[in-house]
Structure 1
């Protein structure tokens, strides 16, 4: 029975890893559908290449930073043990958590689209996934540095983030903000008066919608299978994910007057927000969390573009950064028994953990992107940006005319 249970755990987390891996296709097509046609190839290649770099960075360094298991160096026979014990459970756990880590550069990619160099961004991906992301991941999910114990002692509960509203999404969104600020806005985006001068409508609503649907479906593996063991699976997590997703859809639909870009990002806003408390809030609480997240994304996207002049192409800071922050704080509100939750959460712990995650993302992200910009430069030239990243970097259009075959 023990062997059977272990084998089921391996299968369970492996299926989760596959679902989250497939979400990267969603990231790719969401970006492809949003950017200008001359940058579609670059969007596809970036997501794929980032995944490769992320896997290597996490295998050799990041997983060890977070969990103390350095598979790539086989310290104290760690890799050998992982290969032989518990049907290889530690290996598929790495696979599952690697897909989370790789989501960070995938999130960043959407924010910095259409003006970033290729190899310097890949280099930044390596450092982000090897050091910045796993530093906070280890604090939140492995109890590193005793911070979770301190929060429990002082506020009655540790920081609770079941599936990564802060650990993955907010960290990714706030890291993206630092990259956007280092890069600057796309040329011609804003006029001398500071107002938006050039509007870039989505190049393909069908691709954008396809990306959103892939992400939405894969998210149920992201959330439900964060239990990491078959005995920890909860139908509540699936139900809450559904209700928050629907809340995000409805809020985005009405707040944006049925704008297709906002409508298809609405479910993602709700799902980002519910990650943290999906195992402790009630379905009604999840619906409210999703409604607020959908409305927050619509309003924050417009605010960041028009008022703050932050040229975030896919709106990844509002979607992942701000909705992730809302989700973690909401877990401390709706997770309490007074509002129908299961309890075991503390508002102050949620607030402190959230601020800590944002600080790690801002400081770590800025150091990485600023240093790489200083030494290598991360911005395409004006001519390259005008020509488009597809021809500049990859020497091919998304749909080459026949005479280019």
Structure 2
């Protein structure tokens, strides 16, 4: 029996929407690259740009060969299937558009990790951890939460704690995974040379271009409209018993909650840091904005807009507080990636367990089916089932990434292929590893702390 005209049109519209969303998420790679480049010193700009390219190209091959099968295989609820992904697409459940969208998420994870270990990591190490992270570590977590056969999935037939964990677009699956991997990489490598003095006091190693950071932030903002609203992989899904609600209305609400959380976090971080350091800093506003986006990513589809403002407000203080703690512990993360993606991602998962609205949960995960009851936000009277599942997701992700990526970074360090030698780090990775600066420099060379000096003196 052939496909009806109506079914063909519906499939076409859903496919176009999903493909467009995948393109938006891929635009975030440009945003990552610009933020990374602007946040490091000029002598390392070429290196960090190349690592962003490597994250994407290596992750593409790894996710195609292995990652997609681990994420969406159905052999068991813990690790999907071990067969090559190329034998699984297209099939009756997943097509190429779905694969492309999931690929865009997979390569975003490695970009988060790369930021944490910037400015002191050997290029070959990126090749190793990018392949392993996007081909195995991240896909297993994606299987737990996003596959219908995953043990934590809210779409599973056997809901964990009667609820499953809600991580709609990946506060945990994407951001927390990348952050925990970066955390271990940064701890094992140690801080950059000159980041802390002999007494453990932090020394400023400011990035060289606020312009690139702001540009990257706006590109990430743009891409987040594919990241969050795009996670409705089917736009034409009507809810039974209604004439005015369907996924198309949930998509709009998801975009609005994303905007409100990010904007609130951005302005609160800007003013909060102004009170602490005494001046206005564009970097603070940009990082705060991104922290709000990360936090709302989990519950963007199941919370009211007013709750998104609360999400952004708290995420700003989570970021500010974790950055203070990081300096106290002599932890060095050039892009604040572990604090931003890890801390705000964790808060976002807890926030969903507190503020998820039952009506929206049923819309998103049961297509608005009448007569269905599900656990929802604790503060809205929904019991502890959902909140408990969110806590379990946080603990499980931290444990899984730690026992997989921690040994990888440790082995790379022991093999002396993780951190570059100190003299090369001081000179700059662009000169020591890539044959020249990212920018035309004739008579000047960037010193360790960012000041200019004659190149003859710098190389003496």
TM over 0.5: yes
Hey, what's the Cα distance between the residues in 1 that align with 2:286 and 2:153? Answer: 36
Hey, what's the Cα distance between the residues in 2 that align with 1:310 and 1:274? Answer: 26
Equivalent in 309, 315, 322 of residue 300 of structure 1? 322
Equivalent in 263, 281, 305 of residue 303 of structure 2? 281
Q: Is the 8 A contact 1:160 1:345 kept in 2?
A: no
Q: Secondary structure at the match of 1:190?
A: coil
Q: Secondary structure at the match of 2:95?
A: helix
Quote the offset at 1:194 in angstroms. 1.8
Quote the offset at 1:389 in angstroms. 1.0
| Cross-structure match for 2:290 | 268
Alignment of 1:13-32 (within 5 A): 13-32=18-37
Q: Secondary structure at the match of 2:151?
A: helix
How many residues of Structure 1 are paired with residues of Structure 2 in the alignment? 395
**TM-score after normalising by structure 1:** 0.91
Quote the offset at 1:371 in angstroms. 2.0
Q: Secondary structure at the match of 1:359?
A: helix
Q: Secondary structure at the match of 1:400?
A: coil
Alignment of 1:45-124 (within 5 A): 45-68=50-73, 74-75=86-87, 78-79=88-89, 81-82=90-91, 90-124=95-129
Q: 1:152 to 1:269 in 2, by over 3 A?
A: farther
Q: List alignment gaps of at least 5 residues for structure 1.
A: none
Query: More displaced, 354-363 or 58-67?
Result: 354-363
Equivalent in 136, 147, 155 of residue 142 of structure 1? 147
Quote the offset at 1:338 in angstroms. 6.7
Hey, what's the Cα distance between the residues in 2 that align with 1:369 and 1:348? Answer: 31
Hey, what's the Cα distance between the residues in 1 that align with 2:86 and 2:338? Answer: 37
Once the two structures are superposed, what CA deviation does each residue of 1:123-162 show, in whole Å capped at 9, x if it has no partner?
1110111111111111111155634489965633101100
Q: 1:16 to 1:341 in 2, by over 3 A?
A: farther
Query: More displaced, 60-69 or 9-18?
Result: 60-69
Equivalent in 228, 233, 237 of residue 223 of structure 1? 228
Q: 1:8 to 1:199 in 2, by over 3 A?
A: same
Q: List alignment gaps of at least 5 residues for structure 2.
A: 1-5, 74-80, 237-246, 275-279, 357-375, 445-460
| Cross-structure match for 1:316 | 337
Hey, what's the Cα distance between the residues in 2 that align with 1:201 and 1:13? Answer: 39
Query: More displaced, 185-194 or 327-336?
Result: 185-194
Note the aligned Cα RMSD (angstroms).
2.4
Q: Is the 8 A contact 1:151 1:349 kept in 2?
A: no
Quote the offset at 1:401 in angstroms. 3.4
| Cross-structure match for 1:384 | 424
**TM-score after normalising by structure 2:** 0.81
Quote the offset at 1:261 in angstroms. 1.0
Q: Secondary structure at the match of 1:146?
A: coil
Hey, what's the Cα distance between the residues in 1 that align with 2:308 and 2:259? Answer: 8
- Computing the radius of gyration over CA atoms, which structure comes out larger, 1 or 2? 2
Once the two structures are superposed, what CA deviation does each residue of 1:80-129 show, in whole Å capped at 9, x if it has no partner?
x45xx79xx61121111111111111001111110000012211110111
Q: 1:204 to 1:345 in 2, by over 3 A?
A: farther
The one of the two structures with greater contact order (alpha-carbon pairs below 8 A, sep at least 6) is 1
| Cross-structure match for 2:185 | 179
| Larger proportion of helix | 1
Runs of 4+ with deviation above 6 angstroms: 149-152, 341-345
Q: Is the 8 A contact 1:274 1:327 kept in 2?
A: yes
Q: Secondary structure at the match of 1:256?
A: helix
